[in-house]
Structure 1
């Protein structure tokens, strides 16, 4: 930065003061400087408009940023760790007395001791302002507390005569765990589980799409083989009626669940429908069950449309007193967040996304127009509220089934990075999100033009100003019936790639978040829920991030094909202990497909290969070959040449898949995920990064075996590879690891 002109150095200082990283290290290993235009746009999105051609505006912005804490008696949110002494600084007119009390969530009051603080007073808006510092004791219990500062009193506690003094100020105080303890049991005995895409995993009773009852059945079958968890794709809600977005990683909201996953027959009120309505539901079920044997693209829209017809019929049945009480308790627990989401659903079933009604400035939660529609659409709102209760109940049943079957963890939920910016979260949380910015990723070796995920980022300042409550509430809902949570792109809790809406992903910048708060809130809610946290920490990041996550008790992620150095596989004993290890991910082909190069064939057909098809195949063969030789050296494959191993992969891919999983199980990693697609011999890709739906049916591929025959949940015992691979992993993990 020292070589930059003065005005650019000043712009960079202002950006850095607002948490914007002015440069980043790309996948090419080089340092890239963010353009001035991007910095100005991101600053404006953070409520700091500047003119880079006007040094005075930059100086003023820098000065105003420095004064932010001095203008606040208390910081809006204070994060501390249980067992660790820390402090909080308050700012009051110089010479004015102040006391600070921690009011615990149970109502107890803890007066805080004032510490010596020789910070010089600062002139703030014409008032000489001093700083006082108070000790936050290590004994503070975990929880959501309140800091209360009373300014302007004498030693007897009486208020001064000046009416401007004697005021009380409050802030959120969050005491988080030093580290999560929920994964500790797996350090004593390693665990494994099944990873799957639930929508693709159907049974004879499904309505063309895998559902929560299928999830429960998969958990029970996995538990029988010794597994501890089932990791599903995100179950987040989409739009309230078809057509829906295929990708589970582009939801409408992350807090609530997609009713598409409901098992209609498990709703108790179905039994009380009249004969005609009952027959109507049965006819819909029969129609959709025919789709369970089709292996072409899934038809979410048809399945969802028929389920909604059935659900509206069932909604007309009066709840029993016990069910009515449970429903009322659920609504009270979810509060205004559920009420606003149901209102959004009702509005979306009446108005399309581009209807002029959405431009009404009063159509915000609590606004006059919104409240008018809340009354007018009460019946529709009630329907969508009821749907979420049913989802909650069926998730609870799935988790109960998993634990009862012997799993130590049960259901592991998958948390997407964000929600589509034009849908529910964007409307409900608009004061906390940045609508002019989109989240994505800078260019990398797989996406040379970068990525735009069309999701609005959290506003870091407003999150703190509101005590991180929206983030907390979302986590609480997701964790309610989960034994674990996988956080997609966990690095986003440290920094996110922001790009102006409508701009190129190459013209973005990383904006940092208070990771102590973001990780701390996640740790607190997970510890209270008894849930293991797995962070997907793949990609470009600074080395200290993984160390920080490990120190807080979060597990990382290690993928077999990515664990290499200069083309040489990392020996299993050198894998991280505190992580979830897997052979592949949903963004890679199933292992049998990877061995066969199905992704290369697809990328060649779509013109996505960086080099010639022959060169890419040779590179892939080399990569696969070194891993097969590594498994061979560990004794999991027969002796022979590299060519012999590659020929074996063509003749008997199941043997290779099992060998790679046994090889991976040599790592000390406390958890291992077994991909369901690998256990049944599927070769087709679930998601091909860098493609659109018109190019490839991403997230629409139903589960099938190597011959292309459909694989159903209640007939998994007919698939010989399923029990064999699960038994192999369980057997290997019960042996001492190399670490």
Structure 2
């Protein structure tokens, strides 16, 4: 395989073999690995002739399509796009009709030869020419379309999606004017309360919002609350969801659903001594017992759904609202509901039928005629799963309205996972856009010497463009609802993703690039429309210039204290943090403050066999001791600790004084947003997730050590929250 052919084809598929690794060295992916990656894209043959034939075929599609499928522009007075025509048609007068999002139209005429010629090509003895069309237009923000017609012919020659966007994302006026706010981040499932059913719920969220506001906080940051797998409750990672558009129904507070107040039988069951004993056991557990919780909640939801259909006056009103929800959400909702229903169906036949990859072949795609027939024949069951989404959305909507009524600048701050699992409803319903034999991940770095593969199939960049970015637009809209801010996990995905071929280690992958300007423009449009601030999780290896691009687009950076170190190993003073950023101390993939100081994560890693040899563990311990000393030096140097507090990290244990001082220290910083974890208020040491593990550790199950009432009644924590509020205000 000659490099010229391979390089040509890599350009077609947006594959970049050269990159700067985590150690600052230039790296290059081998041709062999590139060829393997291309094969996993579903291309049957990767020899020179086959690749060149495929390249020519794709190139011809460009020339044979007068207009691209989509053009995205920041609002301006003129817009430029390519127009390809047979040479015999180039001098024809063409009529263009722009249909605006509101249905109104703008019309005009053009002749291609009045514009610059930028290329020619011959296909089957027919010559084509491509012109760069420049039109002066007054277009509002929004999703429009441009149709091109030959004079006198009704059928359009071509139709292009034409999207006009603002130049940057939404930022609330208070933040634009320099207001500094703080909030708490929480794994909602891990919240303990005296009322939930062994898993945090949306009523707990409302309580958190109210109490945080009372203490001077501005927002509650959530883990991804995406739909998971009710029939596979132990698949609990919020970062490997079934859908990123729909909600995890386990967050529904059953007793707060309207139908509960009208179902006396269910009320009696819930209030029974036996049921209350079960709830007490689930609440008191150190871990979320997903199967037990799911069994209770799904059974209760089925009872509530029956009440919805009981024919009473109130139920009829609610049923009308529910029917409207189904109509408004359309096919996207039916896809998710049908998948959940089919999982129940096939698992009732075979307990090993965990998802679509092991279902009968005729049921492995939403579009299958057998699936469509099954949906019609089992409409009541599909409607039930639609109902579970409806009541969940009503409750997150109530929480959002509460936050707004309290005057919180952000209120709810949601988290968008970077992808979905291979066995998800999203892939089942959209096979054409996913590369299912590939997983996204990360190349080798300091924290992961072998790299990472996350088991999440990517969407191909060319498929995104062919669909006029419809999947991305739907995703952004869904996740910007009912919140004031959205954190985008691994925001580098807007620029590039590390693709790992199925069956290979992560170091055999390569970067695939996306149309970052298009994606950021769409992000800005949806952000403005939903008045939703955007935070980009930009940790790890960042290509040069992307930080400026994100900042100019109004995306807030994500600054983790433990990673903000200078070249000499010291920690950057919080006052030197970027203003347009969210500062935090820990993330869900890191130890808590106490766990970090006590090196609990390192000892746990050794226990779980995550290190290749004893020397690796020793080196990590030595590095941790050095980092702790730098932290002590920094806190003392900036007056964030009492002068008589110990100064030698080797002899200093984690205490409440040190823990709370570190959080207040960061609160004095320059970043407009500050997010701190509830588990750090409670001085917990166990992590919520250990990267690189699956069954070795109970990831995504660990609960808070105290329930919410006790947390907010704690005098020491109340003092801390007051100090955070004061520090934020006094350093504005």
Confirm or deny a common fold (TM above 0.5): yes
Q: Which moved more, 1:382-391 or 1:136-145?
A: 136-145
The separation in 2 between residues aligned to 1:46 and 1:362, in whole angstroms, is: 23
Distance 1:71 1:723, change over 3 A: farther
Which residue number corresponds to residue 360 of structure 1? 361
Distance 1:357 1:452, change over 3 A: closer
The separation in 1 between residues aligned to 2:356 and 2:580, in whole angstroms, is: 49
2:208 is aligned with 1:218: yes
Q: How does 1:296-695 map to 2 (within 5 A)?
A: 296-318=286-308, 320-351=315-346, 352-353=353-354, 358-361=359-362, 364-566=365-567, 567-609=569-611, 611=615, 613-639=617-643, 643-644=647-648, 647=651, 649-650=653-654, 653-693=655-695, 695=696
> How far is 1:623 from its partner?
0.3
Q: Which moved more, 1:253-262 or 1:75-84?
A: 75-84
Contact persistence 1:112–1:136 (CA under 8 A): no
SS of structure 1 residue aligned to 2:147: strand
2:78 is aligned with 1:79: no
Aligned-residue Cα RMSD (Å) equals 2.3
The separation in 2 between residues aligned to 1:233 and 1:291, in whole angstroms, is: 24
Q: Which of the numbers 22, 30, 47 marks the counterpart of 1:27? A: 22
Contact persistence 2:355–2:423 (CA under 8 A): no
The separation in 2 between residues aligned to 1:612 and 1:240, in whole angstroms, is: 40
Contact persistence 1:16–1:22 (CA under 8 A): no
The separation in 2 between residues aligned to 1:585 and 1:511, in whole angstroms, is: 26
Distance 1:136 1:578, change over 3 A: farther
> How far is 1:492 from its partner?
1.0
Contact persistence 2:196–2:283 (CA under 8 A): no
- Write the deviation string for residues 565-608 of structure 1: whole angstroms up to 9, x where unpaired: 22121232332111111011111111122112211221222233
2:163 is aligned with 1:174: yes
- Write the deviation string for residues 531-587 of structure 1: whole angstroms up to 9, x where unpaired: 111110101120211111111111110000101122121232332111111011111
Give TM-score, length-normalised by structure 2: 0.92
The separation in 1 between residues aligned to 2:283 and 2:355, in whole angstroms, is: 37
> How far is 1:475 from its partner?
2.1
> How far is 1:362 from its partner?
6.8
Q: How does 1:113-262 map to 2 (within 5 A)?
A: 114=110, 116-137=115-136, 139-150=138-149, 152-153=150-151, 158-159=152-153, 167-188=156-177, 189-262=179-252
Contact persistence 1:43–1:50 (CA under 8 A): no
Give TM-score, length-normalised by structure 1: 0.91
Contact persistence 2:483–2:532 (CA under 8 A): yes
Which residue number corresponds to residue 97 of structure 2? 101
SS of structure 1 residue aligned to 2:227: coil
- Write the deviation string for residues 625-662 of structure 1: whole angstroms up to 9, x where unpaired: 11221121111113368645665543xx2222222223
Contact persistence 1:241–1:305 (CA under 8 A): no
Contact persistence 2:669–2:731 (CA under 8 A): no
Contact persistence 2:343–2:355 (CA under 8 A): no
Q: Which moved more, 1:263-272 or 1:108-117?
A: 108-117
Which residue number corresponds to residue 350 of structure 2? none
Contact persistence 2:230–2:294 (CA under 8 A): no
Distance 1:198 1:362, change over 3 A: closer
> How far is 1:716 from its partner?
2.2
The separation in 1 between residues aligned to 2:224 and 2:334, in whole angstroms, is: 22
The separation in 1 between residues aligned to 2:67 and 2:165, in whole angstroms, is: 19
Contact persistence 1:48–1:61 (CA under 8 A): no
Which residue number corresponds to residue 708 of structure 1? none
The separation in 2 between residues aligned to 1:452 and 1:615, in whole angstroms, is: 25
The separation in 1 between residues aligned to 2:464 and 2:356, in whole angstroms, is: 30
> How far is 1:361 from its partner?
4.9
Distance 1:517 1:356, change over 3 A: closer
Which residue number corresponds to residue 3 of structure 1? none
Q: Which moved more, 1:266-275 or 1:293-302?
A: 293-302
Contact persistence 2:38–2:46 (CA under 8 A): no
- Write the deviation string for residues 45-71 of structure 1: whole angstroms up to 9, x where unpaired: 55655534x3x4444445445444222
SS of structure 2 residue aligned to 1:689: coil
Which residue number corresponds to residue 349 of structure 2? none
Unaligned runs of 5+ in 1: 1-5, 160-164, 705-710
The separation in 2 between residues aligned to 1:146 and 1:217, in whole angstroms, is: 45
Q: How does 1:36-47 map to 2 (within 5 A)?
A: 36-46=31-41
- Write the deviation string for residues 344-377 of structure 1: whole angstroms up to 9, x where unpaired: 1111111123689835357533431111111122
Contact persistence 1:497–1:508 (CA under 8 A): yes
Distance 1:133 1:9, change over 3 A: closer
The separation in 2 between residues aligned to 1:242 and 1:362, in whole angstroms, is: 18
The separation in 1 between residues aligned to 2:576 and 2:342, in whole angstroms, is: 53
Which residue number corresponds to residue 707 of structure 1? none
SS of structure 2 residue aligned to 1:101: strand
Distance 1:614 1:344, change over 3 A: closer
> How far is 1:270 from its partner?
0.9
Distance 1:640 1:304, change over 3 A: same
Contact persistence 2:119–2:131 (CA under 8 A): no
2:82 is aligned with 1:89: yes
Q: Which of the numbers 714, 720, 725 marks the counterpart of 1:725? A: 720
SS of structure 1 residue aligned to 2:582: strand
The separation in 1 between residues aligned to 2:376 and 2:703, in whole angstroms, is: 41
Aligned residues: 710
Which residue number corresponds to residue 162 of structure 1? none
2:271 is aligned with 1:282: yes
Q: Which moved more, 1:72-81 or 1:617-626?
A: 617-626
Contact persistence 1:204–1:292 (CA under 8 A): no
